[in-house]
Amino acid sequence: MKTTLLLLVLLGITIHLHGQNRLPVIDKKELKQSVSMLASDSLQGRGVGMEGAQKAAQAIVRNYQEAGLEPLTDAGYLETFVLRTVYWDQVYMNIGGRRFDNFEQMVFQYGPPQNEVVSKEIVFGGTGSDEELDQIEVADRLVLVFVKNLRATHEINKKLSKRKAFGMITANLENERQYLSVKRTYKSYALARRIQLPSEAREAARMSKRFASATPTIGTILIPNEQVPNILGLPTEKLQRLIKKRRITEAGTRKATVLFKKVDQNIETANVVGRLPGASQQTIVISAHYDHLGPGPFEGSYYAGADDNASGVSAMMALARHFSSADSLRYNMVFIAFSAEEGGLKGSKYHVNSETFDSTAIACNINLDMVGRRDEEHTSSKYLYYIGAGQSATLDSLLTKADSAYTKCKIDYTIEGLTGLFRRSDHYSFYQKGIPAVMFFSGLHKDYHKTTDTADKIDYKNLSYRVAQIATFIELLQESEL
């Protein structure tokens, strides 16, 4: 202890927040309790708009109240806002008692939604040439065609769109692997649940309308070659012979029922905001996002998000408890648990663009995202990345002092620049408003965005050291001219 105090004196560091010169101590048991609660299956992966995310928000509110934080506004701790969510739900065809499910027996590549089950006839269109399409009636029908590549698919789609077809079913008989390639390419994109702020939704709708008017399309489905005989009830070889003989009308028609259901709805979510008042009008914002990815890929599974970002929220709440016991604060401290970070920083974007937000009153933002594990670049967890150096000489200098004063966790400055990782978390929204904004981070690992990112894998001892290092840094900020 004597050596540490001497080092503090040599560095010109005097910390008065707790009435004595000492380095912060963070309770690892409290961190473990918080992470375990937020990452539990009962919170359903904290998906935006889900009941589990609402429970997480209420748990953070209770933590703020217990720590003595006050609401930022008269509206309370919850900064509520609305998001638009858009995603493909059920997409399938039923033909002759056989069901074709999206990304199983077929791939729905693109096209307008059809949110009610409808019955349509299927007709054979050969290879989709003008000569072949002139032989058949395609209006309001599904048209089965054989294509050679995706470029051909787009061209035939345009032809059928002009002829008022309902949709097209394609197969590439010359390339068995195309179906699997398209399936891999489209699946993650098509099944993603996109969320947008109202302003983003309006712009997206405008661009979508403009695109649709320029390139009219109909629903397009790709099937594996093995499923071709199940569409019209005829062997593939017979369909090929009909093409050669220019007698495609002899393939006849078949009934199908289809559903291309697209969900487009508004959901309500909230940032959780608490405040510790200081003597100055300037504010230090500490943030971490509490949302994650929601249900997992299998029935009853969830993306726990223990490191991403239950660890950051737990660290933020520990800092709130730590500073709530201070005799006095020079600067206000605002603690924000952001929602909808995983969907594109929506919660922080909403916050910094709200009518009540005053960027001139914010001294800096310190964001905590994934601070509970270690990456493959390190053999020990006694480190913490500092991302965003170079924006403020004051911040950089004070962190260097904190790094020297607190030796149980060393700062790693090797992730440089303001691109890449710097753009991927909520501090970037503050940076875009001209506010010095930095992130503390412990790196990516093999469980990132997987259901295996669980609470038992967090290094709670070193997490407590990391939070203490950040607390040391913030204490120095509170003693400095910002």
What is the token pair recorded at 273? Answer: 């905001």
Closest CA to 439 of 468, 399, 380: 399
List the domain boundaries for the chain. 2-68+277-478, 86-264
- Tell me which fold the domain 86-264 belongs to: Glucose Oxidase; domain 1 (3.50.30)
Pairing of strands 142-146, 194-196: unpaired
Q: Which residue in this structure is represented by tokens 């309006």?
A: 202
| 107-161 tens-digit pLDDT | 999 889 999 999 999 999 999 999 999 999 999 999 999 998 878 888 999 999 9
Which pLDDT band, with edges at 50, 70 and 90, does 215 fall under? low
Distance separating alpha carbons of residues 463 and 482, to the nearest angstrom: 27
pLDDT of residue 204: 64
pLDDT of residue 189: 79
Helical H segments across 12-112, by residue range: 28-38, 51-67
Say yes or no to pLDDT of 41 above 90: yes
Beta strands in 351-467 (DSSP E): 362-368, 383-387, 410-412, 437-441
Closest CA to 273 of 336, 333, 340: 336
Higher pLDDT, 214 or 163: 163
Closest CA to 48 of 82, 95, 72: 82
Q: Which residue in this structure is represented by tokens 């001219």?
A: 481
Say yes or no to pLDDT of 278 above 90: yes
Phi/psi class of residue 201: alpha, beta or left (left: φ > 0; alpha: ψ in -120 to 50)? alpha
Distance separating alpha carbons of residues 277 and 359, to the nearest angstrom: 17
Lowest mean pLDDT among 49-58, 63-72, 192-201, 323-332: 192-201
| Average pLDDT score over residue span 196-215 | 67
Exposure string over 151-188, b if 16+ CB within 10 A, otherwise e: ebbeebbebbbebebbbbbbbbeeeeebbeebbeebee
- Residue 227's Cα: distance from chain center in Å? 35
Which pLDDT band, with edges at 50, 70 and 90, does 208 fall under? low
| 300-310 tens-digit pLDDT | 999 999 999 99
Which pLDDT band, with edges at 50, 70 and 90, does 200 fall under? confident
> Domain 2-68+277-478 has what CATH class?
alpha beta
- Residue 355's Cα: distance from chain center in Å? 25
Across the chain, mean pLDDT equals 92
Closest CA to 212 of 137, 300, 110, 363: 110
**Topology agreement, domain 2-68+277-478 and domain 86-264:** no
| 366-390 tens-digit pLDDT | 999 999 999 999 999 999 999 999 9
